[in-house]
Structures are given as C-alpha cells and as structure tokens.
Structure 1
Amino acid sequence: MAGTTSTTSYDPAVPDAYDEAATARWAPEPDKRPGRTAFQRDRARVLHSSALRRLAGKTQVVTPGTRNQAWDASPRTRLTHSLECAQVGRELGAALGCDPDLVEAACLAHDMGHPPFGHNGEQALNDFAKDCGGFEGNAQSLRLLTRIEPKRFVHSEAVTSAAAAAGGGLVSVGLNLTRAVLDAATKYPWPRGGHPTDPGSVKFGVYEDDLPVFEWARQGAPAYRKCFEAQVMDWADDVAYSVHDFEDGLHAGHLDPNLLLAEPERSDIWSVAIGRYVPHDTDPQELAEALDRLIDEEWWPHHYDGSAVAQARLKDATSQLIGRFCLAAEAATRQAYGSGRLTRYAAELEVPRATRNECAVLKAVADRYVMQRAEQEAIRADQRIVLAELAEALTVRAPDSLDPQFRALFGAAPDDRARKRVIVDQLASLTDASARTLHSQLTARR
C-alpha cells in the first residue's frame, strides 16, 4: 500500500484477538502442519482453489482478450482485481491490527462467485433465477466457499439424504473455512429481501438454502453489521477497482484526461455518480471539489500517450491514489478508536466523506467513459442473449448437459427449484470463453 506510515500493525506475539469461536470450522478438522495459523490455512485454500483461477477468464470492466490498436491494454480480469484488492486489504488490515492472512483470504474470495460477463452476467442470471431465489454474486461466493468448491467432504447425520447422495454418502462443505474468514468475506450480511433499510435492494449475501452455514458464520454477530475485517475488505475493493478501472480506461484509450476539465463532461460524471456511487442528496459541488483535488495533485496524469514515460507516470498515480485513500481511512479510524488492535466487532472502519467522494468520482469516470461506450451496449446485449439461450439449453438437456459435478447435484436435488439452482451454479462457474463455447455446442450458433 503506497505511502503507509502507520507503526501500529498486527503482531503475532500479542495475545490473539481471534478466539476459538472465530477460528472454528463448520466441519471440525485437525491441523495438518503445526505452527501454521488457521487463517494461513484459509488463505492457502482460497489461493489454490479452481474457482479463484477461473476468475482469470471473467470480465472486470474491459473484456478479456480485447486489444487497443495503438497498444496492448492488458486489461484487468476478476482475478487480477482480486489479487490487487488482497494486497491493498492485507496492508490496510495489518496497519489497523487485523490478522493480515484473514483479510487477504476474504479479499481473494470476495468475487469468486461472480459469473461470466461481469455485472451484466449477474443481471442475466438474476432474471433466470427469479423463481428459485434470484442470483447475487456475493451470495454465490458464500455458496461456492461453503458448498460448491470441492475441497472437503464429510459424513454427517445432519444433512439430507439427497445432499449426501450427491457425494456418494458424503456432503461437501466447500473449502471449510473458519467462521471469521467467512464472516469477513460477507459484504451483505442478510438474505434476499432482508436489507435493513431497503427491502427492495438487489444486494444480499446468502440464498435461502445456504442459511444454516450463514447463521453459523454469523453466530454472535450484531444483526446486519459487517465485521471490521469485512469493512476493510469492502474498502479495499472500492479502492482497487476505482483506481484500476480508471487506469485501464486510460491504457485502453477510452479516456482523455482533458475531458475531465470540460463542464458538460463533468456534469455527466456527476449524473452517473449521484445515486449510484454517492447518496442521492450529494451536492454536485462536492464531487467537483473532489475531482479538482485530485487533478491539482502533481502526480495526476494530465496526458497519456502510451509511452514508457507515460506508463510510469500513470503507475505512480495509481500508487498515490491507493495510498491516499487507504491512509485517509487509517488515520480517521485511528482518530476514532486509538492505537490498539481493531478486530471483528470492536470498531467500524472510518472513511472521511471527502475521501469517499474522491473514490466515487473515479468510479463514475470509468463508468461514463468505459462501461457506457456506445459499442458496449451491443456487446452486453449479445452477452445477455448468450446466457439466456445457454440457460434454456442446459435446462432442456439436463442432466446430460451438465458437468459431472453438477450432474450429480441435479440428480440428487429434491424438487424443480433445487434443480434450477444447480443449473444456475453451473452457469455461474463458467468463464466468458467457456460460456460462449458451451453456448455454441448446445445451440449450434456460429
């Protein structure tokens, strides 16, 4: 994390702030290697998972495989975003007293449930799954971590015979992560329709049939409240994608920094930001001041032509921005809670309003100039057609159309609702490329 100056950090020599309940696993299991912490094991499990590797083929903002004619844009994928989020979160968490392996594991895992084609794919799957509980990438991440990713199978008298039958008498507990890591990876600690102030919100963190493990992970937690590590993960996510999406937009040639000085363009940016990235009552003048503060910095990239010097200057700007956003959160949180270790439910991450506005402006810039490009809507429309037709084809041909893992789950599912959820799980596991390949195979569309 660029510019970190804090002298307070996680120290394993200090009495552990994470008790036995925090390090418990849904299915108890012995340590394999003495001397390694529970959270080090969790980090390794996430890092070595096939679900994390698949994120390399899933869209972040610029579609993987696209190339700018002037230079190779090398856009970020969900995997590179997750790795960068993990680096930011690990250092910020450690500076505030969190276990760094815990925070890193949560950051690596936070997007693992996202489907092909980014948020566009998420919306398409939500439409398909509307009669079996909907689809939400964060709820899918919890499902993947606790059920789908094949790492740990156990015998249990508590599971239904159908669930056990899918594993030949065994039931999957996914990666079987600790309670604290599952809690830290949960951005939205409520089920569908359970948002504490907005029941119509499309954001939620658990499907109905995953409530038992969710409630276990949230045991003792205040209702609707994210743990401190989850708040660090969430801010690291915001920082990473706001800064890096802006960087990718410049690399790909979609954004001219001079446009940010023109009043008509700035008004468009405020329109994008308000309601989506900042509250509806935000004064556009606040956002103008936030953008001007960034533009006035010596390191701001006023020009980008793809040269080595320009690339180095842009990379310095991204480092400066990450440091700026993280140091502001660290300083404000320390001012509120002092210099001790901050963990679990002992504190709230404090991010100054001015800093949130600066971060939101970068998100809105990337949204306006990258995601809202004219050709993007045609691409998104095609992606929605691919997923809708693929979902129909899988449904008609199931279980033979499903991968062996999901075929077994489909056969063991007790009703149509559960069978449809298995098809959703199969669709969500696909990369952008594998979704298109499977679509071509099942629909003969060329």
Structure 2
Amino acid sequence: MTRHAPWASDPERSRGRLHEEQSGSAPDVPRGPRDAFQRDRDRIVHSISFRRLRHKTQVFLAPDGDHFRVRLTHSLEVAQIGRTIARTLGLNEDLTEALCLAHDIGHPPFGHAGEDALKAALKEAGGFDHNGHTLRTLTEIERVYPRFHGLNLSWETLEGLAKHNGPVRHPGWALAEANRAFDLDLAAWPSLEAQVAAIADDIAYDNHDIDDGLRAGLLTLDQLLEVPLVRREWEAACARFPDVPAKRLERELVRSQIGAMANDLIAQTRRRIAESGVASAEDVRVAGRPLVGFSDAMRAEERDLKRFMYANLYHHPRQLAAAEAAHGIVAGLFAAYRNDPRLLPEDWRERLPVAEPHRSRHIADFIAGMTDRYAVTSYRQAVGPIDLPEGF
C-alpha cells in the first residue's frame, strides 16, 4: 500500500459527496475495492463528457492529421505528468489523476475561440467560462444515476476543479451555482493535488504544443532556439546525441524540457512545504499561498516560453483565420437555436426553460457539449453552408 505524506489528501477523511448513494439495499457501499478518489477517477473516465474530448480542439481546430493532439490526448498526458509528480511528493495519485483527467471537460468546441463566442452570446446571461462549465457539467448536465444529477463526485475532487488555480474571489454564475449546492470553500487554497494538476497542465501544453507546432510547420527550430529554456535543453540534447540528425532530436527536446520543468517543480515544492510547516491537508488550505510551484528562475523561463508560443503559434495567421471561422460557427449556432428552438434536438427542446437567463444558458449548455465536427455539421443543418479555411 502506498504511503502518503501527512499533507496529502486522504480519501478516508473526505468531506463526502452531496448525495447519499445506495448500492443494492445498503447506503454508501462502493462497487468494488475502490476508495472515494478512485471512484471519482473512474466516473470521470466513463462519462460521456470525457469521451467527447477526443473530438475537441487542443491547438488545431478539427485537425485532419491523426498525429495532432486533441483535448482527450492532452488530458491523458497531463494525468501522466501529474501522477508522476504526485507520487514523487507523496501525494494522492488517484485524486491528482482525477483532477488532471477532468480539468478540460468544460471546454466547448473549438477551444478558446468557441469559449469567446459563448461568452459574447451569454453577455446578458452571466457569460461563460470553461472552468465554471466543468463544474456545471459534472454536477448538473451529466445524468447517469437514478436519483440525482451529475456524477456526485467527492468534495475534494470538485474543490480541486473549482480552484486549482487558487482561491476564487469572484466566481461566475456556473461556479457560484455549484458552490451554493455544495460549499467548496472557494476563498481557501486548494489541496496540493489540485495545485500539482494545475502546473502539470502547464508543463504538458507548454511542451506538447511545441511538438504539434513543429509537426504542423507553423514553428521552426530556429525560431524556438531564441527562447533561453529551449536553447539550453536543445544544446544538452545535442551533447547527449552528437551523431543524431537535428530532426530526430526534436522530440528529445520536448522530453528534456518536460523533465527539467518537473524536476524543478518537485525540488521547489519540497522546499516550500518544508518552510511552510504544514502538517495536514487542512493546513495546506490555510497556508495563505501556493506551495506547489517553479523556482523563480524556471517560472521566468516558462513565462518567456509562453510569450513566444502566443506570438508565434497561437496567434499565427493560419490559426487566427481558423479561430475566426470557429467563432462564427458557435455564434451562428447560438443565434439559430435562440431564434428557433425547434432546431434543437427533442430532449433539449423539451427541457428548454421559458425565462431568461436560464433559456440562453440551456442553449449554451447544448452547444458547449458539442465536438468540433458535430458543431460544423449542426451549423450546416441549422444555418447553411460554410467555407472553412485551412486549419479545419
């Protein structure tokens, strides 16, 4: 049995679930030899929302290439990095994995372009943000159990998803609703497992987006070598394999950078935990600052890498053209369903609220659950033909 650090989250001390559950005639009897966090992870993996991530944008919209990442593969890679870090730090791997796997479930089709379109469409109805929608999906929209909505995840999993980036002072309406139903203590810091999941996400997309950008031809190695972190790891890779062609070393560069970031994070986090004097998971929540993080030097280098990626990949002209088309698809779908609810599928139409803002939010719920390709198909059915730019 794995021994956890005293400041790790303990499923035996979980604050429980919102709804009492029954298995057969006895309450709260788990199906199989699993603890609360293992059950949460399994519920997430078996959910419809998780399966849909395989056809949702990571960087490239509705990619034609089989080798580009999508939300599903990204989430799996985040979980792999998160579990490794959690194991090394003596944290709960199952909770960390659950948080990593579920962190992007609230993303609508087409990533941030789709999110921007829904945010604009819901301007008078409270707006839209993918993190709040993750909580809404897992506590309300998923409906697979007989007596309650949502997946009925443990408090620790919902808390970690709600505030993995830190305390939430001004929650949007979706997160506020979830919090009213099950108080997630939004003003406190989250568990160390949630903090690890947040930075595992950064490590994954910082480096894997480089891999995809090079593969797509939108980035060049010469461009990347302008970034200090990349140059240092590239020179180290070349020194290890002096007789290997440069093209063959590109993925070694990505692996090397992930290792450098993870090792820095682990060493710095150990120092912070020791200096903080925390002795329990509850101490972590009142520590007043994050305990998982990079060193100052690595944090500065990671920010330089992010700035480079925004300038050269995320805001590449081809990407911006695709994002503009994606924004138009989501905005067009919302307008079509808002003006003529008969276009909605029967089950969504039957549950359509009469009054605002619930009516608009319901329509947004339907659109947010779409995959990229289903959104394109639905647009053509509900609105009409569309010419898609390169990148789709």
User: Which residue of the partner structure matches residue 211 of structure 1?
Assistant: 179
Q: Which amino acid aligns with 1:86?
A: A
Q: Does 1:438 align with 2:381?
A: no
User: Which residue of the partner structure matches residue 54 of structure 2?
Assistant: 56
Q: Does 1:140 align with 2:133?
A: yes
Q: Distance in 1 between matches of 2:246 and 2:347?
A: 48
Native 8 Å contact 1:328 1:355 kept in 2 = yes
Q: Does 1:112 align with 2:88?
A: no
Native 8 Å contact 1:62 1:370 kept in 2 = no
User: Which residue of the partner structure matches residue 316 of structure 1?
Assistant: 252
List per-residue Cα deviations over 1:186-221 (Å, max 9, x = no partner): 235666xx44xxxxxxx85944433313x5233xx6
Give the TM-score normalised by the residue count of structure 2.
Answer: 0.85
* Aligned-pair Cα RMSD in Å: 3.1
Q: Distance in 1 between matches of 2:80 and 2:239?
A: 23
User: Which residue of the partner structure matches residue 409 of structure 1?
Assistant: 351
Q: Does 1:180 align with 2:146?
A: no
Q: Distance in 2 between matches of 1:309 and 1:290?
A: 21
Residues 11 and 368 (structure 1), Cα distance of their counterparts in 2 relative to 1, 3 Å cut: same
* Identity within the alignment, %: 33
How far the C-alpha of 1:238 sits from its partner, in A, is 0.3
List per-residue Cα deviations over 1:226-269 (Å, max 9, x = no partner): 332221111000000000001111111111111345xxxx5xxx
Q: Which amino acid aligns with 1:33?
A: R
Residues 27 and 21 (structure 1), Cα distance of their counterparts in 2 relative to 1, 3 Å cut: farther
Q: Distance in 2 between matches of 1:391 and 1:318?
A: 39
Q: Distance in 2 between matches of 1:406 and 1:326?
A: 44
Native 8 Å contact 2:41 2:95 kept in 1 = yes
Native 8 Å contact 2:264 2:294 kept in 1 = yes
User: Which residue of the partner structure matches residue 16 of structure 2?
Assistant: 24
Q: What are the within-5 Å matches in structure 2 for residues 86-97 of structure 1?
A: 86-97=79-90
Native 8 Å contact 1:96 1:342 kept in 2 = no
Alignment partner of 1:124 out of 109, 117, 120: 117
Residues 229 and 14 (structure 1), Cα distance of their counterparts in 2 relative to 1, 3 Å cut: closer
Q: Where in structure 1 are there 5+ consecutive unaligned residues? A: 1-8, 155-170, 196-202, 267-287
User: Which residue of the partner structure matches residue 227 of structure 1?
Assistant: 191
Could you say what secondary structure the match of 2:256 adopts?
helix
Give the TM-score normalised by the residue count of structure 1.
Answer: 0.75
Residues 204 and 352 (structure 1), Cα distance of their counterparts in 2 relative to 1, 3 Å cut: farther
Q: Does 1:388 align with 2:331?
A: yes
Q: How many aligned residue pairs are there?
A: 371
Q: Distance in 2 between matches of 1:302 and 1:380?
A: 39
Alignment partner of 2:299 out of 340, 350, 356: 356
Alignment partner of 2:363 out of 420, 423, 443: 423
Q: Which amino acid aligns with 1:247?
A: D
How far the C-alpha of 1:379 sits from its partner, in A, is 1.7
User: Which residue of the partner structure matches residue 259 of structure 1?
Assistant: 223
Native 8 Å contact 2:11 2:35 kept in 1 = no
Q: Distance in 2 between matches of 1:210 and 1:341?
A: 29
List per-residue Cα deviations over 1:118-146 (Å, max 9, x = no partner): 11111111000111111000000010011
How far the C-alpha of 1:292 sits from its partner, in A, is 4.5
140-149 or 247-256, which deviates more: 247-256
Q: Distance in 1 between matches of 2:215 and 2:35?
A: 40
Native 8 Å contact 1:82 1:111 kept in 2 = yes
Native 8 Å contact 1:93 1:229 kept in 2 = yes
Q: Where in structure 2 are there 5+ consecutive unaligned residues? A: 22-27, 387-392
Q: Which amino acid aligns with 2:325?
A: D
User: Which residue of the partner structure matches residue 45 of structure 2?
Assistant: 47
How far the C-alpha of 1:42 sits from its partner, in A, is 0.6
